[in-house]
Copies of this chain bind each other. A is one copy, B any other.
Amino acid sequence: MMNVRDYIMKNIDSNFEGELPFRIGHKEVKAGYIFTDFNQKAQNVYFLKTGIVQIEILRDEELKILDFFFKDAFFASYSSLLTHLPSDVCIKAITDCTVEIINYQELKMAYSDSLIANKLGRSETEKLYLRRVMREKQLFTQTAQQNYQSLIEQYPEVIQHIPLKDIAKYLGITPESLSRIRKKIMT
């Protein structure tokens, strides 16, 4: 099971030694736990050690699923952290999860003089940015079937853990359309 320090050594700087420039909290939560709720001011960045998390947003008074996060990844209501405005997304554990927690104020203080904190912040923000751009691009240029296939190629575990109605919500289609797509792919 990977933790923040392992992640940094694997993805950010293989030569990193010494103390992390921020404290790490630990938490185990049950499926359904809400990390950041709608209209709540986000305060933490989370690292997902085990489990699956989903990010929901309200659009046209309907609940949409914006993203899923799987183990070995950071997640947060990042716009809320950056702007200090109330979150317009809800972050929910959809399986039992184990997380490490970094307080964002502490991370920001570390940004003032820590190379590794800035490398981590830069690299993770680049990933989030790309994720956003790619998702937008998929929505504009790919069919629902292509989007479904990308999703299950990238995250085969989706099928076992996420209800079909939620996968449909993520793809922006009805559960019936998703069933048709699944039948088509399997035949």
Contacts and interface: CB of A to CB of B under 8 A. Distances in A.
A72 to B, nearest CB: 20
8 contacts: A79-B130, A82-B130, A111-B122, A113-B115, A121-B126, A125-B125, A125-B126, A125-B129
Interface of A: 59-60, 78-79, 82-83, 88, 111, 113-115, 118-119, 121-122, 125-126, 128-130, 132-134, 136-137, 140-141
Contacts of A122: 111, 118, 121-122, 125
Nearest to A129: B129
Contacts of A129: 78-79, 82, 125, 128-129, 132
Contacts of A137: 88
A133 B130 contact: no
Most buried by B among A60, A113, A129, A141: A129
